[in-house]
Structure 1
Amino acid sequence: MELDNRLPFPAMAFRQFDTEGDLDCIVSVRGTFNHVQDGIMEIAREQESFQWEDAYEDDPHQTVLLRQSDLTPDKPGTDISFLGDAWSPLREPETSWQASICVGNVSKEVEVCGPRFWQPVIKEKWAGFSAKEPKRVISDWTLTEPEPTCKVPVCWTKAYGGVIPGTGDAETHTPPDVERRNPLGCGIVTLDMPAGTPPVRAPQITSVGERLDWKETPEPQGLGLVSPWWQSRQQYTGTYDDAWVEKRHPLLPQDFDNRFWQAAHPDLIAAPHLHGDEGYELRNLHPEHPVARGQLPGLTLGVHCQRADRDAWYVLKIDGVQFDWRNDGRVLLTWRARFPLADADGTTLTLTRVRLKSPESENHHAEKETA
């Protein structure tokens, strides 16, 4: 199998078994673009390399997912995500404000605030006749007022979640339990924590208008990518039991759900896929533009599968839109096509931009675009 890539973007063709053990071909493309205010985003001069594996800042269990692997085989929808900071509307220190992202008909709004903490309320408790002084215990937690700030990192470490106090055992090397919806977060406190516990970081990213209560477990809020073992993705992995080992291994379980491959927050998954020419609007997420507006590039990509007994076109779907505005205005787009290819010998795949002859979204007849 040979891939002739006629695009300015890195791409790869590879094969993978489906759930029934038949081989499919996956063609994956990653494109790097630059945001253009009130215009169509432009192709970046420097293209990010093909992403061979999930990329993290450091330890995958301690840091956020920055890039999803381009070897992902299939996504039933388009992931939309953001990396960067939320900026106060006037770029002056404020205690809280809203930030939002909208691409096409998919949108999500969050509320961010400056640093705040759960402060323990200590009371004295009778410790028995033999005790020389009362026992000090935590009776409640109070939330401090947010500190004014100009920006807040929109990162899962700033949302509700994290380690559950009182779990784990260092002596037996047993790791602590974590909030499975967001293992990286903050703000979980209990009355069983030691009286000497210092103030605990409280979430800085919440639903709009949400009032925190330390006794409750709110839904973690964020705009970033989600790791495979977080609850929103792990729930789709299927059943790995003795029957699977005996009858299906190494194939995926019969009840595996392709939604596992979606790495965005569930609120930021477009299903069906975006067309790739939608407008977008991000509020208070760009350092220079309080409302950053633009449009996706409207590229339609196709792959021509040719050999002696085969001549077919397949249109790639756009399945990822990632705004990475930590250092510049880049936007990462990913496209993917999956089709049966039991025998790859003598197969040539030509990857190019195409113009569609009909509006159907799958198995189009397509022609190369001359423009």
Structure 2
Amino acid sequence: MTSGAPAVPPPRLQQVRNRTPFGHFQYDKMGPGIRFHDVVIVCASFVLAAGRLEAAPRHRGPVFADAAWDAAQPVLSSLRSATDLVLFKPEADIFVTGSARARGWTPQREWLATLQVARHGTALLDKSLRLTGPRSWPWHDDPAQRTPGDPEPTLEVPLRYELAYGGWWRDEGDAADAPPRLHPTNPCGSGRFGSACRDTHAGARHDRGVAVPAPQIERAGVPVRHGNQDDLPAEGFAPIARHWQPRLALAGTYDETWQRRHAQAPFMDYAEDFDLRFFQYAPADQRIAEGLAGDESLRLAGFFASTDALEMQLPGLCIEAWCSTGDGAETAQFMKLDTVHVDLDEMLVHLTWRLTLDQARNVIDVDLRLCEAETQADRDWRHEARGGVPA
């Protein structure tokens, strides 16, 4: 911190008593309007199996930072992991990582993978992607005339955006050391070609007569038909990096007006049009706008070698936070279950609950208690209480 710079205010929250069997982590964040918040998260891991989820023998704990698959070129890589340490999530994220495997360990050329979420029989999420074995882009002078070849049989498909449509490229006339041009929704994919014949997949050359890998993940019913389809979004079940569109647009407008307003300001505020959904990592069609009550059902089909589908139910737990202020007032609220991460490789489901407290509330003590809804009315009330903006 430079001399004379204002100090970030210390956390107001002085003590967290965690009476749950799961670990917690406390940190502070600045929010829009230069309002500082104390944040508490509770993270728990559950065994990925049919029926109601049961706690795993060991809990992973919070993810402290984003990590790219290619740490040397993070701008051209999808995320290996997504941090839990954000201010707030208005909606609930549900994402899947790892590899989808062919049924019965029998190599297949293609199959559908489906993720569904429901609450008491009402569908909240229903998404299907087509997965294929390895295939290539045969050469054609016109990139828009290049069409993906037939897939080869495969045993598994990693759910990484490197295997979806997108990519980076350079055009004729671009300097060799110039930053690459990026497909805005997926810079690490394949299919967007430039006039300099630089392929988008893993930096390989797409020279005349040389075939390069084509996408293996696409929207069911919306195939990748040819190269340079700029209207195709990133397709996948995994988390989206913060510098990708359309997530980046939610960060707001940081133009000359914003720069002038903050030239002499003690803290750099968020843009006026900043959207809290920027903190969401799941693709837009894998977010539950109304949040999660904690007892929803999940169905995953086309992901496992051992079974056609797994149907499971979230553990039906909620975490009540009793908050005490500096003047002795006490209030209770429920932590927001805002992240469900299905890890196919570890066969685990990681859940994150979040409590975001504006420091203006002067909450100095929080007591966390595990509970479960006993009636439908309780569930409805808890569900309502989890919406809205940071408290």
Range into which the TM-score falls when normalised by the shorter chain = 0.7 to 0.9
Asked whether 1:203 is paired with 2:215, we answer yes
- For residue 90 of structure 1, report the CA deviation from its aligned partner: 4.4
Corresponding residue for residue 21 of structure 2 = 8
The partner residue of 1:120 within 118, 124, 139 is: 139
Residue of structure 2 aligned with 1:349, choices 358, 366, 371: 366
Residue of structure 2 equivalent to 1:222: 236
State the match for 1:231 in structure 2.
Answer: 245
Tell me the SS of whatever aligns to 1:33. strand
Contact 1:138 1:192 in 2 (8 A): no
What secondary structure sits across from 1:147 in the alignment? coil
SS of alignment partner, residue 31 of structure 1: strand
Deviation at 1:261, TM superposition (A): 0.6
**Structural mapping, 1:256-335, within 5 Å:** 256-307=274-325, 308-326=327-345, 328-335=346-353
Which of the pair is proportionally richer in strand?
A: 1
Aligned pairs for 1:1-371 within 5 A: 1-37=14-50, 39-59=51-71, 60-104=74-118, 105-121=124-140, 140-166=145-171, 169=174, 171=176, 173-189=177-193, 193=197, 196=208, 198-211=210-223, 212-217=225-230, 218-248=232-262, 249-307=267-325, 308-326=327-345, 328-342=346-360, 344=362, 347-355=364-372, 358=378, 359-360=380-381, 361=383
Tell me the alpha carbon deviations over residues 146-188 of structure 1, each in whole angstroms, 9 at most, x when there is no partner.
11112211211100011124278554x3121111101111122
Q: Which has the higher helix share?
A: 2
How far apart are 1:18 and its partner, in Å?
3.1
How many angstroms apart in 2 are the aligned matches of 1:8 and 1:313?
Answer: 19
CA RMSD of aligned residues (A): 2.5
**Structure 1 residue 70: Cα displacement:** 2.1
Query: Any unmatched runs of 5+ in structure 1?
Result: 123-136, 365-371
How far the C-alpha of 1:21 sits from its partner, in A, is: 2.7
Query: Structure 1 pair 19/330, CA: closer, same or farther in 2 (3 Å)?
Result: same
Could you tell which deviates more after superposition, 4-13 or 254-263? Answer: 4-13
CA distance, structure 2, for counterparts of residue 234 and residue 138 of structure 1: 27
Matched-pair contact (CA < 8 Å) for 1:40–1:295: yes
Paired with 1:197 and 1:164, the residues of 2 have a C-alpha distance of 18
Structure with higher Rg: it is 1
Compute the displacement of 1:290 (Å): 2.0
Cα displacement (A) at 1:88: 2.5
- 54-63 vs 110-119, greater mean Cα deviation: 54-63
Taking only the aligned residue pairs, the percentage that are identical comes to: 29
Partners in 2 of 1:323 and 1:138 — Cα distance? 36
Structure 2: runs of 5+ lacking an equivalent: 1-13, 119-123, 198-205, 387-391
Q: 1:241 to 1:331 in 2, by over 3 A?
A: same
Q: How many pairs were matched up?
A: 346
Secondary structure (helix, strand or coil) at the match of 1:232 reads: coil
> When the two structures are superposed, what TM-score results if normalisation uses the length of structure 1?
0.85
Q: Secondary structure at the match of 1:292?
A: strand
